[in-house]
Amino acid sequence: LKNVASCPATAEEWKKQAKIWNCKSIITTVNITLKYHCLINHWRNETLEFCGEEKPIIGHYCPEFNQRGNRIQESWKNKCIDSKPSCPFKFISSDVFNYPDCLKLQVMIDNNDVNMDSGDIYRNLKIAVPFIVFLVILIICALVCFCYKQKGNNNEESRSTTEVENSLL
């Protein structure tokens, strides 16, 4: 798995990279033939080159690589049905170079024109949640101290009132 600035944009460039990667030479334990791929990751913030098992992409979507699941999948945020040429309903993930809109998506990512998605939100939550928990604990401690102090003042008032009543009797 290698981060790259962009994927090959033509069939010739794609074949050249595939030859460099030489994925067919990799021996797998389950006898799978690996093919060269260049895809965006599922957070849409990196473009990755790797050798992987071909996967059928269904539903006019561009493919993406899910790094957590270590698998190729449909990018549900990226349909390429209105592009020229459009993605067919079903195609093989290693043939993505035939659908330029899927490759143009990498250009948008490289220029930082992508909105925050679930991956970015997840990373931000990892920072925000501990801070919020800390604030909640701090507020609870302050309330407990305040209530304890109030209870202490009430006891002194009731004792002094009782002493005054007893002395009057």
- Both 111 and 131 in a single domain? no
Q: How confident is the model at residue 118 (pLDDT cuts 50, 70, 90)?
A: very low
- The partner residues of 62 in beta bridges, in order of sequence, read 75
Residue 54 gets which letter from DSSP? -
| For residue 45, pLDDT beyond 70 | yes
80 and 153 part of one domain: no
Kindly give the residue spans of alpha helices, DSSP state H, lying in the chain.
11-21, 100-110, 118-168
115: which DSSP letter? P
Query: What local confidence, expressed as pLDDT, does residue 156 receive?
Result: 54
106 and 163 fall within a common domain: no
pLDDT value, residue 113: 46
CA angle 48, 60, 109 (to 5 degrees): 35
Residues 104 and 160 in one domain: no
pLDDT tens by residue, 131-166: 788 888 888 988 888 777 777 666 555 555 555 455
* pLDDT band per the 50, 70, 90 thresholds, residue 125: low
Judge whether residue 126 has pLDDT over 70: no
- Residue 100 and residue 167 share a domain: no
Pick from 69, 86, 115: which residue ends a domain? 115
Domain end position, chosen among 115, 131, 150 = 115
What is the domain count for the chain?
2
- Residue 8 belongs to domain spanning: 2-115
Q: Where are the alpha helices (H) located in 35-117, listed in sequence order?
A: 100-110
| End residue of a domain, out of 70, 87, 115 | 115
Handedness of CA 59, 65, 69, 75 (dihedral sign): negative
Rg (CA), the chain: 31
Q: Which amino acid is at 140?
A: I
Give the CA angle between residues 31, 32, 37 to the nearest 5°. 155
% of the chain surpassing 90 pLDDT: 37
